[in-house]
């Protein structure tokens, strides 16, 4: 069992009597990637929610199970062993502290750059063989999930009627792509189990993802919520056989606000641990991000000032999780 060092309960955000947090949205957009209507349904989902669920995704169940089992082994190590892979600056093992600006959550994680030479990744002092198994599982999984990311990004371009078809996917296939991979482990939170109270505790605080696209797979433990435009929070029923896709801030800009970067968060659970694996597809650091000209509608203007991914990341790392990071780059409309 993973024991997190004793929490200072004051640090954690609790949510009581907020707008409904337990509603399960019966209609989270569901996309079957093998169906011909996938592209139009993806565009609709990105416009309405910035979020959808994918089946027939092509990621082999074997790659998923292998990584899940390696990650479970890693998070089961004693804290002192895991800490050998930390602190996260920004990459490495982290525990409760998220990012450099004081955010905390009931979570431990491993954050990696996908450009990493995994052979140099020292995960802990466990045997070389065990480390090699973990590295291989990471490589296989990331390769498969990046393929799916490209397929989805190509379908988005097709659905938006823009060319070339790889206008979005080429940013994540680029050798210099600044993509990130994250394993999050949310241990059961004993206080929630004891109280039997209606209180919730934050596992991972509300935020939008800064990159282009995020592909999330979790075990069967609930906790993920998305925010709707009216400010209400919707619980996403877990499904370990599917993937959940988020539009990131950069894709919102590339589409001039047509696709919405979805605000989301994770609530801790009193009884079950949650394990999630997220691939964040990002562009090369020097890539200039601005609305694609073909997506600026006639008579409309760009809603954003151009910035490089490096500039956006730098600004993001100076922000708190819940901050509106895109706000700094919004263009003030000329009156």
Ligand X SMILES: O=C(O)CCC(=O)C(=O)O
Ligand Y SMILES: C=C1C[C@]23C[C@@]1(O)CC[C@H]2[C@@]12CC[C@H](O)[C@@](C)(C(=O)O1)[C@H]2[C@@H]3C(=O)O
Q: Is 95 helix (H, G, I), strand (E, B) or coil?
A: strand
Tell me, residue by residue from 268 to 297, as one string, x for binding to ligand Y by CB under 6 A and - for no binding. Answer: ------------x-----------------
State the binding partner of 76 from ligand X, ligand Y, Fe ion, none, CB within 5 to 8 A by kind: none
Beta bridge partners of 244: 53, 216
Phi, psi of 23 (to 5 degrees): -65, 130
Within 13 Å of residue 187, how many CA atoms lie on the same side as its CB?
Answer: 17
**Does 68 sit near ligand X (CB under 6 A)?**
no
H helix intervals, the chain: 38-48, 61-75, 79-82, 128-159, 169-173, 190-195, 249-254, 309-316
Structure tokens at 117: 């030479």
**Does 184 sit near ligand X (CB under 6 A)?**
yes
**Does 154 sit near ligand X (CB under 6 A)?**
no
Q: Least distance in Å: CB of 116 to ligand Y?
A: 14
HEC per residue, 11-62 = HCCEECCCCCCCCECCCCCEEECCCCCHHHHHHHHHHHCCEEEEECCCCCHH
Tell me, residue by residue from 173 to 202, as one string, x for binding to ligand Y by CB under 6 A and - for no binding. Answer: -------x-x--------------------
How far lies 323's CA from each of 14, 26, 94, 177, 253, in Å? 18, 29, 21, 25, 17
Look at residues 139, 168, 143 and name the one whose alpha carbon lies nearest to residue 154.
Answer: 168
- Interatomic CA distance for residues 142 and 45, integer angstroms: 24
Beta bridge partners of 32: 55
Tell me which residues in 216-245 interact with ligand X (CB under 6 A).
Answer: 216, 218, 224
Active site residues: 274
State the binding partner of 218 from ligand Y, ligand X, Fe ion, none, CB within 5 to 8 A by kind: ligand X
Q: Least distance in Å: CB of 277 to ligand X?
A: 8
Query: Residues in the site for Fe ion, rule: CB under 5 A?
Result: 209
**Does 260 sit near ligand X (CB under 6 A)?**
no
Find tokens 């092509």 and name the residue. Answer: 58
**Does 261 sit near ligand X (CB under 6 A)?**
no
**Does 209 sit near ligand Y (CB under 6 A)?**
yes
Q: Considering only the stretches 61-69, 96-104, 123-131, 287-295, report the one whose residues sit in contact with ligand Y under the rule CB under 6 A.
A: 96-104
Of residues 66, 97, 135, 182, which one binds ligand X by CB under 6 A? 182
- Per CB under 6 A, residues contacting ligand Y are 90, 98-99, 101, 103, 111, 180, 182, 207, 209-210, 280, 316-317, 319-321
- Per CB under 6 A, residues contacting ligand X are 182, 184, 204, 209, 216, 218, 224, 264, 266, 276, 278
């Amino acid at each position: 069992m993973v024991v997190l060092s004793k929490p200072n309960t004051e640090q954690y955000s609790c949510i009581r009597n907020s707008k409904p947090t337990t509603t399960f949205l019966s209609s989270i957009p569901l996309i079957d990637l093998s169906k011909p209507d996938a592209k139009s349904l993806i565009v609709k989902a990105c416009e309405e929610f910035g979020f959808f669920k994918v089946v027939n995704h092509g990621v082999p169940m074997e790659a998923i199970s292998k990584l899940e089992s390696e990650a479970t082994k890693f998070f089961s190590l004693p804290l002192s062993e895991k800490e050998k892979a930390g602190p996260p600056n920004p990459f490495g093992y982290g525990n409760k502290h998220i990012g450099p600006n004081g955010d905390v959550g009931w979570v431990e994680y491993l954050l990696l750059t996908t450009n990493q030479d995994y052979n140099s990744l020292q995960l802990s002092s466990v045997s070389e063989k065990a480390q090699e198994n973990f590295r291989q599982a990471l490589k296989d999984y990331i390769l498969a999930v990046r393929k799916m990311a490209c397929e989805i990004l190509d379908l988005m371009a097709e659905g938006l009627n823009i060319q070339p078809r790889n206008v979005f996917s080429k940013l994540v296939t680029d050798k210099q792509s600044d993509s990130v991979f994250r394993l999050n482990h949310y241990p059961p939170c004993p206080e929630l189990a004891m109280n039997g109270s209606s209180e919730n505790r934050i596992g991972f605080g509300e935020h939008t993802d800064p990159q282009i696209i995020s592909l999330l797979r979790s075990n069967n433990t609930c906790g993920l919520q998305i925010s709707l435009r009216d400010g209400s929070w919707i619980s996403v029923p877990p499904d370990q056989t599917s993937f959940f896709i988020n539009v990131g801030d950069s894709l919102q800009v590339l589409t001039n606000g047509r696709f919405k970067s979805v605000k989301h968060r994770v609530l801790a659970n009193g009884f079950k641990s949650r394990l999630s694996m997220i691939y964040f597809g990002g562009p090369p650091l020097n890539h200039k991000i601005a609305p694609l000209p073909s997506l600026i509608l006639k008579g409309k203007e760009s809603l954003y000032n151009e910035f490089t991914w490096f500039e956006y990341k730098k600004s993001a790392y100076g922000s708190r999780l819940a901050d509106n990071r895109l706000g700094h780059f919004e263009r003030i409309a000329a009156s």
